[in-house]
Amino acid sequence: MPPSQLKRLKASLREQGVVGPQQSKKQRKQNAQNGVSKEKRVHKKVALEGIREQFNPFEFKLAGKAPKFEVTTNRKTSAVVRRPGVAKGLAEERLARAYEEDVQRRKKVGGIVDKRFGENDPTMAPEDKMLERFTLEKQRRHKNSSAFDLEDDLMPGELTHMGQSLSLNGPALKDDFDEKDLELSDEEDHPSDDEQTRKRRRSSAGEDEEDEEDDEERPERKKSKQEVMKELIAKSKLHKYERQTAKDDDEDLREELDLEMSDIHALLRGAVPRSQPPPPAPGPGMNPDRAAFLSGTDKGKLDKDYDLGLRQMAQDKRSQPTERTKTEDERIEEGSRKLQELEAKRQRRMEGAPESSDEEDATANDGDEEEEDFGLGSGLKARPTAAEIGIEDEDDFLIDDDLVASGSDLELSEGDSLLTEEEARRPEFLTGANGPLPEAEIPEQNGVNGDLAYTFKCPQSHEELLQITKGVSVLDLPTVVQRIRALYHPKLNSENKAKLGKFAVSLVDHISYLANQPQQPPFLILETLIRHIHSLAKTYPVEIGNTFRSHLQAFGESRSLSPTAGDLVILTAIGTVFPTSDHFHQVVTPAILTMSRYLGLKIPQTLSDYSTGAYICTLCLQYQRISKRYVPEVMNFIENTLCVLAPTKLARLPGSFPYHEPKASVRITGTSKSTRRLTIYDCEEQELSGDDQTSLKAALLEINLSLLGAAADTWVDKSSFTEVFTPASKILQHLSSKTCRPTLSPITQNHLTKLTQKLTILLKNAHMTRRPLELHHHRPLAIKTAIPKFEESYNPDKKHYDADKERVDAAKLRKEFKREKKGAMRELRKDAAVVARESLREKRERDAAYEKKYKRLVAEIQGEEGHEAKAYEREKEWRKKGKK
Amino acid sequence: MPGLVKASAGSAKRKRSSSDKRPSKRARSESSEEDGQAQILLLENEIFESKKNYNNVATLIKILKTDSEDADDSVIAAISLCRVFTRFIVAGDLANKKGATDQEAVVVKWLKERYTEYKNSLFDLLGEEGISATALALCMRLLKTEGENTRTQEYQFPSSFLTGIVQALVKPESDANARKEFSENFVEEYDDIRFYTFEAIKRVLEEPRSTASAHQVFDNVFEILTTIESVPESEEELEDFYIPAPKKSKHPLFTLTKHKKRAQDAWYALVTMDLSEDQRKSILKIMSTSVAPWFIKPELLMDFCTDSYNAGGSTSLAALSGLFYLIQEKNLDYPSFYQKLYGLLDSEIMHSKHRSSFFKLMDTFLSSTHLPVVLVASFVKRLSRLTLNAPPGGVVTVVPWIYNILQKHPTCTFMIHRVTRTAKGKALLESEGLADPFLMEEEDPMKTHAIDSCLWEIVMLQSHYHPNVATLAKIISEQFTKYAYNLEDFLDHTYGSMLEDELSKDVKKVPVVEYEIPKKIFSKQEEGAGMEDSLLVKLWDFN
């Protein structure tokens, strides 16, 4: 328990020395003499004051909470003790004063308000006042000055000449004042108007003495800041000017040297290409080049020459070591390595891995480069190489020199063939002399009729191509294409590249056109054309790809379920020109989708439909020969066809393929005598005699069995091989059953038996190798972690944290508004209270004065009355007495 | 215009003066063939003038009936007769008055007979193209007049007249335009007309007729009924009346159930007809949206639905949605529903054009997590088996569905991940291989052993020729991080849409070209080249 109030008072009094042991008389006397007692009295007063305050519980207000340690908070700790009473008193006083002022000014109009700083402040010394006024003035000016204010002499970008200011009232005149003989008469060398006025005011204020004192001190005084700055600026400008002149000198020197550059060039190159005319005769004793330069006439030309020379130098080929001629082994090795690389790339594409960036660069690059990339041909693994290398120079594609050489001096700057390196190095590229083509078909002589032209226009569209080939035998077409390619080789002319691109596009159109012709051109021609397209596709992949795509589009839109021979040839060409094993390919994917659409949606009715389907199935399987992707439609189609062709109907359809019985039965009814294979033209609608039909049916059955075998080979490793091929094997069983077998030809029967055996073995293998699926050996998923989000403006002092900034702002605003409103209301209330109090006080005063006056008057009157009454009384008394 | 009728003489005069003007005007503008029309108007006016000229009614009807080449005449006659009879009805000339003399009764009777005759010929006109719209308008006008005026105290709807109209409209040879007009502008608009049309349809359908005409009648009735789209939901909605509504608030016209009852009867009469498969399908298609909501007792539809469902093929597919409605809303208990549903999964379903709607429903049916896992597994396995022969669109639908199901029934994930743990089991696998325990032929989804099988089919589809399908199939073997796939995104893919999608993209990247130019494409490889002939060359003849 704390000590009582009284005890505490006593203790503090003692502490302060207000009360203490009594002093002797002597001591007191001494103290009084020394003045100690006087001091003590003052001290005592102060101490008492302190103690009084200390013990008044209402005079102080302590903070609600203990102050925090400074390290924990970034807020300024406010004063620990506040004095509400004092503050209130002060505020009230201020208000009262303001009210008074108000009252004084009430009902008064006009008047001058002195706004000079400190004018009404009696506490300020005149010096302070002046200092304050000066700073204020400076500040005001500083604030208002803009970059374009010409009057301001402190402006950084003032006008200069030779590094010196041009302003008349600025530092330009400083030079004169800098002279030592002239003493400055003023504090500032060039006071502005304001300052002058101020000075005047000051002098009028009678402070001349001080000024004089200052004047004397001036020379030793430190320079003002302004002066220092000005000096600095002038100095830097001088330096700048010096640098400028130095640079100009350098420039001159360099220009001189530049003029001699061409001479040096000539010396370096050893030749003197004096193409420019001799310069006009120079003046005596002057460098001619310099004269020319000075005259300025030759300047443009000079620059041009210089640029030209520079570019030539940049393009000069450095001497490079030639590549050592490689031995055969090395070449083979290199070739196989490249092949492996290409194969690896293909594999990656097959798996659908995204191409790496450098690969993309390679493909995006020029065709030539790519051809270099694709350097050596193919098939090294599979083919004996010696033969290939041996026949290198016999490429038929190398046209006789005189074919192109005549009249063209641009010819063969590289001393090589006209064709790309790749083509030159690829003997197998076109049908060579030792090719399998019969001589009669593609004659070595000039065309079939011996009158084939040597030069052709490069066809830019399919119509032009038709125009050109109008009079040309179909058999000569490869020669024509070959000659066009040679004539318009990209290396001959820069425009040829675009031309050949269009030619390639028209070739693609042409193969489908040719196949659609009723005279049915030999497939060797188509083959050669496709190979030409393939070779062109390496240079023009985008153009050719787009053409194929547009063919597919036209096919899909207009005749998706009735393809022509041309469409089939296009699909075949796509299969050879583009890598069908890719996971996704811009041309191949739509192509296979188109094919599967036919197989899936077409309900075959005639034998030709079945032939078309079989051809497309063949293509599908060939597309998938490497990647071995599953095409459900192929199986559906083969199974359906087998069921439909079977001599008798199956009692129960195995599997779940959609079965479509055609309107007119196509079942095999009898053995055909002739065995034939299908051709692409069987796919076209045609009338057939009974015999032909029988043989066609037999061929269809045969081909479907082969397709089934090929499909089984392709998909043997798939996980659902059993499910896919069990129905097929059931159909085969049906075909070899007693009801069907006799109607089939012996060859087919043989084929059937072999295929059945093969399927049985494969199915058995599949059964043996099948394992339960274990797809989910994944690493267990980790629980998701999230990096904690730090709030930059988070403040732990605040009670409520809100992440929504808008809401926070709104709340802040609301709070501020409330606070302001409260404050304003309090102010108003206080004002009102002051006004009320003051007016009440005034009223009281007035009342009191009135009362006083009243009383005075009453007293006066009463006094008078009393006097009169007394006089009357006296008179009366007197009269009474008198009467008596 | 009752006032006008009472002052009959005066009004007739006025009428005449106005109608006298018309023919003269026409005579000026048109040629002499207008004589017939003028004649008709003259006859009409004479009827109004005096009762003696009532015989003109018969003449007019005769003009109306004569199949003259001048069709205008009969139309004009019909119009003027309409005016005449309207006037008669309004004046009450067609009703037996109290205290009328015998002669008057005879006249009334005679007029009534003529009126019936007139109506019949109007019904005939309904079947004729061109005039049918006018005839319908006249019929409806008369119907209104009759309804407004013949009632004595009680509300009375001329339902026999309406039946006549409906009968004429659903006749096999009736005009389609009139039917359309009738159903759109009257039946759909007015509650009372709809009410009595339902009644009339029911009555019409109950008449016996030959099968050929029955099919036509079905189509016509179906057309009328399908135009009625808005099933009233509360009694407040019943407020559009063609003929002023009865004053009694308890009249059946004001009760929703009575309305529904009539509609139900009409539909039921239609449904119980001898229907062809296409008709069945067309009803089933709108079953849940337009038919079933009318029914107070949807149980009546159950037979129809279950019969259709049992019919198999695409009819069952169509019946599925109706059945679903009944099961969901009306608590229909369909025994062995799932077995039937399982039975629908045959080789056709993947190629059917109803594929997407079927999958939508099937997804709903199998969405319950309370279904036995064995059953769900059967569905999963069977569908994956079917994908082996499915077009890419079908595969794309099935795979995400399987994913969703596997997420919902974690026990089913044994179908994609089953580790053989015992050494014995491993040895057995080595020595004897593995046969798929799933029984494709089993019809009961509870007995297929699908849960013991694995989804090898989906794994095979991971190497589907279409890159997107292959990638989609791979979701099964990746970690199941996604909660579910939205099936809607995968339902409507076809060859066409996929091809369109591929071909509409611009070629941005340079297409890769096969690096090796094949030596031979259509011809055989050289002897000793060491290259095998391609499949194409082996199988096809290119010489």
- pLDDT grade for A268, boundaries at 50, 70 and 90: confident
- pLDDT grade for B326, boundaries at 50, 70 and 90: confident
Distance CA A621, CA A624 (A): 5
Q: Is the pLDDT of residue B357 over 80?
A: yes
Asked if A542 is an interface residue toward chain B (Cβ–Cβ < 8 A), one would say: yes
* A169-178, A200-209, B172-181, B512-521, range with greatest mean pLDDT: B512-521
* A130-144, A513-527, A745-759, range with greatest mean pLDDT: A745-759
Q: Can you tell me which residue has the tokens 């005759």?
A: B117
Residue A125 corresponds to which tokens in the numbers above? 């010394």
HSE-up (13 A, CA, CB side) for residue A603: 8
Top-confidence residue, A587 or A37: A587
Minimal Cβ distance to B346: which of A636, A656, A677: A656
- pLDDT grade for B397, boundaries at 50, 70 and 90: very high
Please tell me the predicted confidence (pLDDT) of residue A433.
36
Q: Is the pLDDT of residue B380 over 90?
A: yes
Residues forming a β-bridge with A678: B540
Please tell me the predicted confidence (pLDDT) of residue B398.
93
| Count of residues in chain B | 543
Question: Which chain B residues touch A625 with a CB distance below 8 Å?
Answer: 534-535
CA distances from A416 to A412, A538, A539, A698 (A): 6, 20, 19, 54
Q: With pLDDT > 90 as the criterion, what percentage of chain A qualifies?
A: 14
Q: Mark yes or no for CB contact A579/B513 under 8 Å.
A: yes
Residues whose CB is less than 8 angstroms from the CB of residue B523 and which lie 6 or more positions away in sequence, other chains included: A436, A523, A524, A527, B537, B542
Number of Cβ within a 10 Å radius of residue B227: 16
Please tell me the predicted confidence (pLDDT) of residue A481.
87
Q: Kind of pairing, strands B540-541 and A678-679?
A: parallel
Question: Which chain A residues touch B539 with a CB distance below 8 Å?
Answer: 618, 677-678, 703, 706-707
Residue A158: φ, ψ to 5°: -80, 165
pTM score above 0.80:
no
DSSP string, A2-68: PPPHHHHHHHHHHHHTSS-SPPPHHHHHHHHHHTHHHHHHHHHHHHHHHHHHHH-TTT-EE-SSPPP
Given a contact cutoff of 8 angstroms between Cβ atoms, the answer to whether B401 and B359 are in contact is yes
Query: Mean of the per-residue pLDDT values for chain A?
Result: 76
The distance of Cα A786 from the centroid of its chain, to the nearest Å, equals 26
Smallest Cα–Cα separation from B260: which of B292, B299, B224? B292
Report the gap between the CA of A649 and the closest CA in chain B (Å): 18
Interface list for A 393-452 with B (CB within 8 A): 426, 428-429, 436
Q: Can you tell me which residue has the tokens 């008369």?
A: B142
DSSP string, B195-254: HHHHHHHHHHHHS---HHHHHHHHHHHHHHHHH------SGGG----SS---S-TTSGGG
Q: Mark yes or no for CB contact A658/B347 under 8 Å.
A: yes
Per 3-state DSSP, chain B is made up of helix, strand and coil in percentages (nearest 5) of: 65, 0, 35
Q: With pLDDT > 70 as the criterion, what percentage of chain A qualifies?
A: 74
Q: Is the pLDDT of residue A367 over 80?
A: no
Mean pLDDT, rounded, for B57-81? 66
Interface list for A 6-25 with B (CB within 8 A): none
Given a contact cutoff of 8 angstroms between Cβ atoms, the answer to whether A431 and A528 are in contact is yes
Asked if A336 is an interface residue toward chain B (Cβ–Cβ < 8 A), one would say: no
Q: Is the pLDDT of residue A129 over 80?
A: yes
Q: Sign of dihedral through CA atoms B373, B376, B380, B386?
A: positive
Interface list for A 761-790 with B (CB within 8 A): 767-778, 781
Asked if A681 is an interface residue toward chain B (Cβ–Cβ < 8 A), one would say: no
Amino acid at site A283: G
Minimal Cβ distance to A541: which of B391, B510, B543: B510
Decide: residue A515, CB within 10 A, 0-12 exposed, 13-18 middle, 19+ buried: buried
Please tell me the predicted confidence (pLDDT) of residue A147.
56
Q: Is the pLDDT of residue B96 over 70?
A: no
Please tell me the predicted confidence (pLDDT) of residue A267.
81
A630 in helix, strand or coil? strand
Q: Sign of dihedral through CA atoms A18, A20, A25, A28?
A: negative
Residues whose CB is less than 8 angstroms from the CB of residue A754 and which lie 6 or more positions away in sequence, other chains included: none
Asked if A663 is an interface residue toward chain B (Cβ–Cβ < 8 A), one would say: no
Distance CA A518, CA A290 (A): 81
Q: Is the pLDDT of residue A250 over 90?
A: yes
Report the gap between the CA of B423 and the closest CA in chain A (Å): 14
Distance CA A571, CA A552 (A): 8
Distance CA B210, CA B217 (A): 10
Mean pLDDT, rounded, for A746-772? 89
CA distances from A388 to A381, A383, A396, A423, A429 (A): 12, 8, 14, 13, 11
Residues forming a β-bridge with A774: B417
Q: Which residue of A has its CA nearest to B499?
A: A590
Q: Is the pLDDT of residue B341 over 80?
A: yes
Number of Cβ within a 10 Å radius of residue B525: 16
Q: Mark yes or no for CB contact A524/B529 under 8 Å.
A: no
Please tell me the predicted confidence (pLDDT) of residue A493.
83
Q: Mark yes or no for CB contact B347/A526 under 8 Å.
A: no
Per 3-state DSSP, chain A is made up of helix, strand and coil in percentages (nearest 5) of: 60, 0, 40
pLDDT, one tens digit per residue, over A167-179 is 555 444 444 545 4
ipTM of the assembly?
0.71
The distance of Cα A164 from the centroid of its chain, to the nearest Å, equals 49
Smallest Cα–Cα separation from B517: which of A675, A259, A536? A536
Question: Which chain A residues touch B415 with a CB distance below 8 Å?
Answer: 773
Buried b (16+ CB within 10 A) or exposed e, A784-806: eeeeeeeeeeeeeeeeeeeeeee
Please tell me the predicted confidence (pLDDT) of residue A172.
44
Taking the alpha carbons at both ends of chain A, their separation in whole angstroms is 93
Given a contact cutoff of 8 angstroms between Cβ atoms, the answer to whether A811 and A802 are in contact is yes
CA distances from B241 to B153, B154, B194, B253, B488 (A): 18, 16, 10, 10, 43
Minimal Cβ distance to A572: which of B389, B466, B536: B536
- pLDDT grade for B72, boundaries at 50, 70 and 90: low
Q: To which H or E segment does residue A160 belong?
A: strand A160-161
Distance CA B200, CA A848 (A): 109
pLDDT, one tens digit per residue, over B426-468 is 888 888 888 889 998 888 999 999 999 999 999 999 999 999 9
Distance CA A658, CA A423 (A): 49
Asked if A378 is an interface residue toward chain B (Cβ–Cβ < 8 A), one would say: yes
Q: Which residue of B has its CA nearest to A707?
A: B539
B464 in helix, strand or coil? strand
Q: Which residue of A has its CA nearest to B390?
A: A632
Distance CA B10, CA B15 (A): 9
Residue A95 corresponds to which tokens in the numbers above? 């208000």
Asked if A582 is an interface residue toward chain B (Cβ–Cβ < 8 A), one would say: yes
Q: To which H or E segment does residue A82 belong?
A: strand A81-82
The answer to which of A171-185, A752-766, A868-882, B221-235 has the lowest mean pLDDT is A171-185
* A143-147, B246-250, B526-530, range with greatest mean pLDDT: B526-530
Given a contact cutoff of 8 angstroms between Cβ atoms, the answer to whether A334 and A342 are in contact is no
Report the gap between the CA of B363 and the closest CA in chain A (Å): 22
Report the gap between the CA of B475 and the closest CA in chain A (Å): 11
Report the gap between the CA of A586 and the closest CA in chain B (Å): 6
Q: Is the pLDDT of residue A417 over 50?
A: no
Distance CA A392, CA A827 (A): 108
Q: Which residue of A has its CA nearest to B459?
A: A719
The distance of Cα A149 from the centroid of its chain, to the nearest Å, equals 43
Mean pLDDT, rounded, for A105-117? 78
CA distances from A271 to A20, A106, A265, A266, A288 (A): 121, 105, 9, 6, 21
Question: Which chain A residues touch B530 with a CB distance below 8 Å?
Answer: 382-384
The answer to which of A229-238, A819-828, B8-17, B340-349 has the lowest mean pLDDT is B8-17
Question: Which chain A residues touch B476 with a CB distance below 8 Å?
Answer: 775
The answer to which of A667-676, B24-33, B261-270 has the lowest mean pLDDT is B24-33
Mean pLDDT, rounded, for A5-16? 88
Minimal Cβ distance to A773: which of B417, B496, B543: B417
* A323-327, A633-637, A861-865, B221-225, range with greatest mean pLDDT: A633-637
Given a contact cutoff of 8 angstroms between Cβ atoms, the answer to whether A72 and A30 are in contact is no
Report the gap between the CA of A429 and the closest CA in chain B (Å): 7
Q: Can you tell me which residue has the tokens 């009764």?
A: B105
Distance CA A18, CA A14 (A): 6
Q: Mark yes or no for CB contact B388/A632 under 8 Å.
A: yes
Report the gap between the CA of B500 and the closest CA in chain A (Å): 8
Distance CA B473, CA B459 (A): 7
- Which of A337, A593, A640, A706 is best to mutate for the B interface (most B CBs within 10 A)? A593
Residue B529 corresponds to which tokens in the numbers above? 């080249």
Question: Which chain B residues touch A776 with a CB distance below 8 Å?
Answer: 413, 416-417, 477, 479
pLDDT, one tens digit per residue, over B149-199 is 665 556 666 667 777 777 777 676 666 677 777 777 777 777 777 777 777
- Which of B419, B537, B540 is best to mutate for the A interface (most A CBs within 10 A)? B540
pLDDT, one tens digit per residue, over B471-486 is 999 999 888 888 899 9
Residue B412 corresponds to which tokens in the numbers above? 């089913």
Report the gap between the CA of A770 and the closest CA in chain B (Å): 6
Q: Mark yes or no for CB contact B389/A632 under 8 Å.
A: yes
Minimal Cβ distance to B540: which of A537, A597, A680: A680
Distance CA A144, CA A873 (A): 90
Query: Mean of the per-residue pLDDT values for chain B?
Result: 76
Report the gap between the CA of A636 and the closest CA in chain B (Å): 6
Report the gap between the CA of B210 and the closest CA in chain A (Å): 32
